[in-house]
Structures are given as structure tokens and as C-alpha cells.
Chains A and B, each alone.
Chain A
Amino acid sequence: MTGNEAIAEAAIQAGCRHFFGYPITPQSELPEYMSKRLPEVGGVFLQAESEVAAINMLFGAAGAELPCVIVNIMRGGPGLGGIQPSQSDYFQATKGGGHGDYHLLVFAPHTIQEAVSLTMDAFDLADKYRNPVMVLGDGNMGQMMEPVVFKKNSGLKLPEKRWALTGAKGRPVNLIKSLYLDPQALEKHNLEINRKIQEMIANEVRVETYSVEDAEIVIVAYGTVARIAKTAIRVLRERGFKVGMIRPITVFPFPYSTFEEISGDLRKFLVVEMSLGQMVEDVKLGVCGKAPVEFYGRTGGVVPTYDEIVTETERLFKGVP
């Protein structure tokens, strides 16, 4: 299955029954798949007139504390940009994205199998925290095909969906909103959201470390770039260079402590991205000045090759500026 189709099927198996979206490359296969499958399971597929309308249909979900999963298959920007793979929305996904004082929980899968399991977890965690969760992929992941296995849901016990519109029969009326004109009341609302964010930071960090035990240079990458880096690391190891990788699986909350743990003995970190260095800030926060943080990136839809990563890493070993 392509990444787009696999994510759509995972969403349905995780219980997703309402979808709002607008087809646009490189994620068009996702709404296409949903339009076919959702009616089969008694769900609603609604093609919005634009991406903006689609997210409005989800109704300021962060502020109103509604659980939803947003899939962003990134392409080159800014603005309309192009349609080739990119990781240019890292800031948008992890630092803000919208108005207000909140965060999304953001998963960054690097294989299609992982996209499937993270999408299913995303639905559970959106329910658990009543907070939007994002699956952050890129055009390459959306278009690529790999074999996948669909496993049962995590079995996490989910809270009752008290926010759902059910006609209010036999229960008090729900008032779900993000408008609080009294600053005291809005502060209280924000503090409650923040309490949940702090709980996510404490409990939901996921990270993979790869050959870091004896590494002198550690590459930091997520998504498609991380698997390209795995091949680069294999080549570099064959040539005798001690290289490893830290791969954030959640980019919010970011795995800062993993960096704290290994920074001291390292020569350098090398952040590799399909952007001009949006994750570098988070890596520097984790490293906290204990080792130099270098960067290599391609942007605008250009995918870095493993040769480029090999060359760049060797250059750092030789200390060539």
C-alpha cells in the first residue's frame, strides 16, 4: 500500500468515522481511499472546498479540546510551493500552527508500517488527551509503497466521548467553545490545556537510537531522511567511521533527555533535514552546549541522498570547515 492509503486504513481501523479533507498532491490518495472506505463502515466522508474549510470543519479543535487527528504529508513551501517531498512544516507542527497557547502531539513515522501503528495510536491519544494529534509525513512517504500489517488497537481504555453531539437526550447540554471573554476564565482554560501538554511531555516521548553506543558523530533525523541516514550510517561504518543516529519519533514532545544523556562524549551532532534547519533549535536545546551541532539540509522538494550524507559526515570527521 502507499503511505497515504495505509494511513487512511489505519485511521478507519482505529475507529475514525468522520473525515474532512481536500485532495492535493502529495496526499490525494488519502481522501480518495477515505471516500471509498468510509461509507462501507457507516462513516461520513466530506470533501471540503479547500484545506482551510477542512480544518474549520474540525472547528478550532485545539482550543475547544476536541480529539482529532491531522495528517500532514509535507511538500515544499512556502505558500503553494511545489509538490515534491519536504520537511518544511516542522515549526508549524511543533511550535505553533495556529493562534493561541497550545501544542499538538506530533508523530513522525519513517516507514509505512510505522505510519500505520502511529496513526492508530494517534486516534487513541487524541481521545485520551482530548487534544489534536498530528501525523507528520512527507511526499515521499505518501507516494511510496511498502508492505504493511494491520494489528489490533492498543487496547488503551478511552474516556467517554462526552463532547460528541448526540442530541443531549438524558444529559446536560454541552457547551464546547474556545471563546472565553473573561481573561480569568481564559487563563484557567489555558492552564488546563497546559496541564495536559505537561502530561504528554512526561509520558508520550518516543525516540529511536541507532548505533549510538560507540558513536563519535550522531546524526539527528526524522521521517524519510532518517531511513536515508540509516543507509549512510551503514556505508560510513563499513569505512570505519563511528556514526550513529537519534531519530525522534515524536517531534512534539521532543526527546530532549536522550540528547542530554549522550552529549558529553561526542565530537558532534549532525542534523539532517529536508528543510533549512527547523529541528536544529530543538537539538541545541537538548544538547545544551555540550557538543557542537552542525546542519545539512536540502529544501524546496529536493531529497538528500545517502551519498550526500556520507560526504557531509566524512567532512566533519576530517574537521574540514
Chain B
Amino acid sequence: MEKTAKKSLYANVIMAGFGGQGLMFIGKLLAYSGMKNGKHVTWIPSYGPEMRGGTANCTVVISDEEIGSPVITSPQALIIMNNPSLEAFESRLEPEGFLFLNSSLITQKIARNDIDIISIPANDIALEVGERRVANMVMLGAYIERTKVVPKESIYDGLKGFFGDKVKFLDVNIKAFERGISHSE
């Protein structure tokens, strides 16, 4: 709803999938990049009596202005990694919002026709770059390319801060991120 604000940036996104697919991580990475770009940011995880393999989601808001509600009813964008999450969040996406789908795992049909769907075979791409755990970065790449919420360079910086000298992990994450970008162009 606050997308209409003229020139000032306001963006929100909900990311959801299985625990272990790295949604919390890319959410934090996005929020961190927003912060480094001088924006107001909030990051809230779903939390509960949950375990690895259960469902997990987080909400990120990035704004030029002070953020009111960090809790978002109808997000501007969704990053959805599996079928249960699609079921849980599809109806909440705002009209004309972006739905980033992990088509490697999602088999369910999309009911809505008033949204912009970006299908990305994230798990397949992750396997191609040689690390099955980086499907999350593929999705983040697609999201950043389409929405331009933060410059992609700041994601690289964030990754470098996280992985430090573990160059092997850094490289494969960046590779996955870039594949996501080119897939979304």
C-alpha cells in the first residue's frame, strides 16, 4: 500500500520456505544491505516451537522514512521456496505484486492472475553452480534485479562480511546470486 509514495523508497517483502533453505539468511543480508545504504530497515523472523524442515518465514521492510509497522499484511513481494509457503502466502500478496517462485520445488498451480510471477528453478541452478544450499541466493538475485531495492554491490559487501576469508563459500554464493540476476532480467 505504501508503494505509491512518490520518489521516496518504501519496500517490503516476505520470504518463506522450509527451515534450512536459508530464508532468514537472505532476509538479514537484504536488511543489512539496506542499512549500509542509509535506509531504515526492519527484519522480523517467524518464530515458534519449530524445527529444521518445518516452515519458516521472515519479513523485511526497507524505507527512506521511519518505519511504522514492521508487520506486513499484504506484502509488495513474496519469495516462496516451497508448496506449503505458497499456500500460506499467495492470497496475501498485494495486487500487481511480485511473486518469486522456486519452480524446482513448487508444483502447485497459482490461483491468482493479478500478480507478476517470476519462476526460477532455484534448486536446479544451485546444483549447476555446484552447491545445492545456495538456492536462496539465486532467489535473492532475482528479487534484487527486478525490484532494485538495494544496489547488488551492497549484497556482495554483505556476503564478504559474512564469509570473511572462506573464499570457496563466498564465490559460490556470488555465482548463485548472479545466476538469479540474469534469470530475472
Q: Do A and B bind each other?
A: yes
A234 x B2 contact (CB < 8 A): yes
Is A84 engaged at the interface, CB distance under 8 Å to the other chain? yes
* Contact pick for B48, options A84, A227, A230, CB 8 Å: A84
Contacts of B1 in A (CB 8 A): 235
Interface size on A, residues (CB 8 A): 24
Is A305 engaged at the interface, CB distance under 8 Å to the other chain? yes
Contacts of A228 in B (CB 8 A): 68-69, 71
A305 x B47 contact (CB < 8 A): no
In the assembled complex, how far is the CB of residue B48 from the closest CB belonging to chain A, in whole angstroms?
7
B44 x A144 contact (CB < 8 A): yes
Which of B35-43, B132-140, B176-184 lies on the face that meets chain A?
Answer: B35-43
Contacts of A307 in B (CB 8 A): 73-74
A145 x B47 contact (CB < 8 A): no
In the assembled complex, how far is the CB of residue A276 from the closest CB belonging to chain B, in whole angstroms?
20
Is B31 engaged at the interface, CB distance under 8 Å to the other chain? yes
Is B45 engaged at the interface, CB distance under 8 Å to the other chain? yes
- In A209-257, the 8 Å CB interface with B consists of 224, 227-232, 234-235
- Asked, given contacts A145-B31, A147-B35, whether A231 binds B44 with beta carbons under 8 Å apart, the answer is no
- Classify chain B: how many residues form its interface, as a range: 20 to 34
Is B175 engaged at the interface, CB distance under 8 Å to the other chain? no
Q: In this complex, what residue of A is CB-closest to B72? A: A305
- Asked, given contacts A305-B73, A307-B73, whether A25 binds B68 with beta carbons under 8 Å apart, the answer is no
Contacts of A224 in B (CB 8 A): 70-71
Is A303 engaged at the interface, CB distance under 8 Å to the other chain? yes
Contacts of B73 in A (CB 8 A): 305-307
* Contact pick for B42, options A144, A230, A232, A303, CB 8 Å: A144
In the assembled complex, how far is the CB of residue B72 from the closest CB belonging to chain A, in whole angstroms?
8
A83 x B47 contact (CB < 8 A): yes
Q: In this complex, what residue of B is CB-closest to A305? A: B73
Is A300 engaged at the interface, CB distance under 8 Å to the other chain? no
Q: Which of A147, A229, A235 has the most CB of B within 10 A?
A: A147
Q: In this complex, what residue of B is CB-closest to A303? A: B71
Q: State in angstroms the CA–CA spacing of A84 and B71 once bound together.
A: 13
Q: State in angstroms the CA–CA spacing of A307 and B94 once bound together.
A: 13
- Asked, given contacts A145-B28, A147-B35, A307-B73, whether A227 binds B68 with beta carbons under 8 Å apart, the answer is yes
B47 x A25 contact (CB < 8 A): yes
Is A26 engaged at the interface, CB distance under 8 Å to the other chain? yes
In the assembled complex, how far is the CB of residue A264 from the closest CB belonging to chain B, in whole angstroms?
28
In the assembled complex, how far is the CB of residue B115 from the closest CB belonging to chain A, in whole angstroms?
19
A143 x B44 contact (CB < 8 A): yes
Is A140 engaged at the interface, CB distance under 8 Å to the other chain? yes
Q: State in angstroms the CA–CA spacing of A132 and B164 once bound together.
A: 43
In the assembled complex, how far is the CB of residue A259 from the closest CB belonging to chain B, in whole angstroms?
23
A147 x B41 contact (CB < 8 A): yes
- In A1-48, the 8 Å CB interface with B consists of 25-26
Q: In this complex, what residue of A is CB-closest to B49? A: A83
Bits for A269-310, please: 1 = Cβ < 8 Å to B, else 0: 000000000000000000000000000000000010111000
- In A107-148, the 8 Å CB interface with B consists of 139-140, 143-147
A146 x B41 contact (CB < 8 A): yes
Q: State in angstroms the CA–CA spacing of A235 and B1 once bound together.
A: 9
In the assembled complex, how far is the CB of residue A313 from the closest CB belonging to chain B, in whole angstroms?
14
In the assembled complex, how far is the CB of residue A76 from the closest CB belonging to chain B, in whole angstroms?
12
In the assembled complex, how far is the CB of residue A320 from the closest CB belonging to chain B, in whole angstroms?
22
In the assembled complex, how far is the CB of residue A317 from the closest CB belonging to chain B, in whole angstroms?
19
Q: State in angstroms the CA–CA spacing of A140 and B44 once bound together.
A: 8
Is B127 engaged at the interface, CB distance under 8 Å to the other chain? no
Bits for B58-70, please: 1 = Cβ < 8 Å to A, else 0: 0000000001111
Contacts of B74 in A (CB 8 A): 307
Q: State in angstroms the CA–CA spacing of A227 and B72 once bound together.
A: 12
Q: State in angstroms the CA–CA spacing of A224 and B31 once bound together.
A: 19
B71 x A145 contact (CB < 8 A): no
Pairs across A and B, CB under 8 Å, 8 listed: A25-B47, A26-B47, A227-B68, A228-B69, A231-B2, A231-B68, A234-B2, A306-B69
Which 3 pairs, one residue from A and one from B, show the smallest C-beta to C-beta distance?
A231-B68, A230-B68, A231-B69
Interface residues of A (CB under 8 A from B): 25-26, 83-84, 139-140, 143-147, 224, 227-232, 234-235, 303, 305-307
Interface residues of B (CB under 8 A from A): 1-2, 28, 31, 35, 40-45, 47-49, 67-71, 73-74
